[in-house]
Structure 1
Amino acid sequence: MSLASSSAVSPPTPHERVASSLARQGMMNHLGVQLVSATVGRVELSLPYGDKVTQQQGGFHGGAIGALADIAGGYAALTVAPEGMEVVTIEYKINFLNSLQGGQIHAIGQVTKAGKRVIVCSAEVVHIASDGQQTPCAVMQQTLTAVPQTY
């Protein structure tokens, strides 16, 4: 075995890459966002219900729902971005469908198309009640671009 081949470091898996970046997200950590899964082009995140994420009527706040959708789509984009790059959102459009209480919300972000300059993603957010019942909360489409990683 040559010295070069024994010292080669394999690139991180999509799950490792997303988990490492998510750990640096102050807002997501503050809200309690958890990584459920990450594969090439697809990321699922969860956010438990709590007083940090509610609006005045007690349901999940639209800002929390939108942030979770944005980050799920963004991390789906990260899984297809070149190594050494991060991604930032250029824009997104979200439709809110429901705001429910209790349980948790899950966002599933998926890459629709990865181009040379922009990555288009979508995300679906669902509420999962304590009895397992799932209700759609939001759908989002976003455009992102890769930027050099600065850390």
Structure 2
Amino acid sequence: MFDSARFNQAGAGHLPGHLGIVITKVAGDEVHAELPVRPELMAPNGFMHAGSVVTLADTCAGYGCVANLPEGAKGFTTVELKSNHLGTAREGTIACVAKAVHLGRTTQVWDAVVTHQDTGKTIALFRCTQMVLYGH
């Protein structure tokens, strides 16, 4: 069973945990997460670094892919991602909701929306495609 506690534990010693990403909900083909804004996640211009925003969205989509791997699959790898940045944050918490668009045997496609948790303002729109891996 893949739930938020399991994903938070798995990410603790890796980039998601290092950045402070907290998975708050895993429900079928949807994953929710939060990331508190702090100086280490900012670009030198004082605004949220695009890489921090993309990592939040990519983590949600990746965990969603893991939770929805077809029978016999051993894992996945991201083969394409795209983000449109529509706003930024300087304080508070940003949140992400990733939803499956396509759950196939060889590929999955996930869309994610990153918002500022307090204002609801959209920070970024994100789409990624994962290749499902089989084998040893």
In the alignment, which residue of structure 2 is the partner of 1:63?
A: 51
Say whether the 8 Å CA contact 1:39–1:79 is kept in structure 2.
Answer: no
Query: d(CA) in 2 for partners of 1:148 and 1:33?
Result: 28
1:33 aligns with 2:21: yes
Structure 1, 14-23 or 114-123: larger mean CA deviation: 14-23
User: What are the superposed Cα offsets for residues 78-109 of structure 1, whole Å, 9 maximum, x if unpaired?
Assistant: 21114673332111111011112100111111
1:52, distance to aligned residue in structure 2 (A): 1.4
Query: Where does structure 1 lack aligned partners over 5 or more consecutive residues?
Result: 1-11
SS state at 1:134 partner: coil
Residue from 89, 100, 117 that aligns with 1:100: 89
Say whether the 8 Å CA contact 2:106–2:133 is kept in structure 1.
Answer: no
User: What are the superposed Cα offsets for residues 39-80 of structure 1, whole Å, 9 maximum, x if unpaired?
Assistant: 111101111011110012222110100111111111111211
Query: d(CA) in 1 for partners of 2:84 and 2:38?
Result: 22
Query: d(CA) in 2 for partners of 1:116 and 1:101?
Result: 40
Query: Where does structure 2 lack aligned partners over 5 or more consecutive residues?
Result: none
In the alignment, which residue of structure 2 is the partner of 1:5?
A: none
Counterpart AA for 1:53: L
Please show how residues 42-61 of structure 1 align to structure 2 within 5 Å. 42-61=30-49
In the alignment, which residue of structure 2 is the partner of 1:78?
A: 66
Count of residues paired in the alignment: 135
In the alignment, which residue of structure 1 is the partner of 2:111?
A: 122
Say whether the 8 Å CA contact 2:32–2:96 is kept in structure 1.
Answer: yes
User: Structure 1-normalised TM-score?
Assistant: 0.79
Q: How large is the RMSD of aligned CA atoms in angstroms?
A: 2.2
User: Structure 2-normalised TM-score?
Assistant: 0.87
